[in-house]
Amino acid sequence: MNVYFDNAATTPIDPEVIEAMVPVLKNNYGNPSSVHSDGRVARVLIEKSRKQIASHFNISPSEIYFTSGGTEADNMILRCAVKELGVTHIITSPLEHHAVLHTAENLEALENIRLSLVKVDEKGHVDLNHLEELLQTEDKTLVSLMHANNEIATVLPLKEVGDLCKANGAYFHSDTVQTIGHYALDFSELNIDFANCSAHKFHGPKGIGFLYISKEVKIKPMITGGGQERNMRAGTENIYGIVGLTTALDIAYQHVEEHQNHIQSIKSEMISRLKESFTDIHFNGDSESTDSLYTVLNVCFPNSEMDEMLLFNLDIEGVSCSSGSACSSGSNVGSHVLVALNSDMSRPSIRFSFGRFNTMEDVDRCMEAVLKIFKK
Ligand X SMILES: Cc1ncc(COP(=O)(O)O)c(C=O)c1O
Which residues form the catalytic set? 327
Q: Is 69 in the site for ligand X (CB under 6 A)?
A: yes
Q: Is 99 in the site for ligand X (CB under 6 A)?
A: yes
Residue 249 C-beta: closest distance to ligand X, Å = 14
Q: Closer CB to ligand X, residue 10 or residue 137?
A: 10
> From residue 7, how far is each of 17, 238, 320 by CA, in Å?
17, 23, 10
Binding letters toward ligand X, positions 292-331, x by CB under 6 A: ---------------------------------xx-----
* DSSP, residue by residue, 128-159: HHHHHHHT-SSS-EEEE--SB-TTT--B--HH
| Residue whose CB is less far from ligand X, 177 or 219 | 177
Q: Which of 28, 103, 141, 150 binds ligand X (CB under 6 A)?
A: 150
180 near ligand X (CB under 6 A)? no
Burial of 176 from C-beta contacts in 10 A (0-12 / 13-18 / 19+):
buried
Residue nearer to ligand X on the CB measure, 213 or 367: 213
Q: What is the end-to-end Cα distance of the chain in Å, rounded?
A: 24
Across the beta sheet with 296-300, the strand order is 282-283, 296-300, 349-353
Nearest to 213 by CA among 102, 76, 336, 335: 76
Number of residues forming the site for ligand X (CB under 6 A)? 15
- Minimum separation from the CB atom of position 55 to ligand X (A): 22
Cβ-contact 260, 294 below 8 angstroms: yes
The reply to whether 178 sits near ligand X by the rule CB under 6 A is yes
What is the spatial distance between Cα 53 and Cα 242, in angstroms, rounded to a whole number? Answer: 10
Q: Decide if residue 97 touches ligand X (CB under 6 A).
A: yes
Q: What single letter denotes the amino acid at residue 75?
A: N
Residue 67 or 116: which CB sits closer to ligand X? 67
Indicate whether 209 belongs to the interface with ligand X (CB under 6 A).
Answer: yes
Considering only residues 73-92, where is the footprint of ligand X by CB under 6 A? 74
CA distance 275 to 365: 16
146 binds ligand X (CB under 6 A): yes
Please list every residue from 210 through 269 that binds ligand X, using CB under 6 A: none
List the one residue from 135, 177, 195, 293 that touches ligand X (CB under 6 A): 177
Q: Which residues, listed in sequence order, are joined to residue 142 by a DSSP beta bridge? A: 90, 171
- Three-state secondary structure call for residue 209: strand
Number of Cβ within 10 Å of residue 209's Cβ equals 27
- Least CB distance to ligand X at residue 118 (A): 17
> What residue ranges bind ligand X (CB under 6 A)?
69-71, 74, 97, 99, 146, 150, 175, 177-178, 198, 209, 325-326
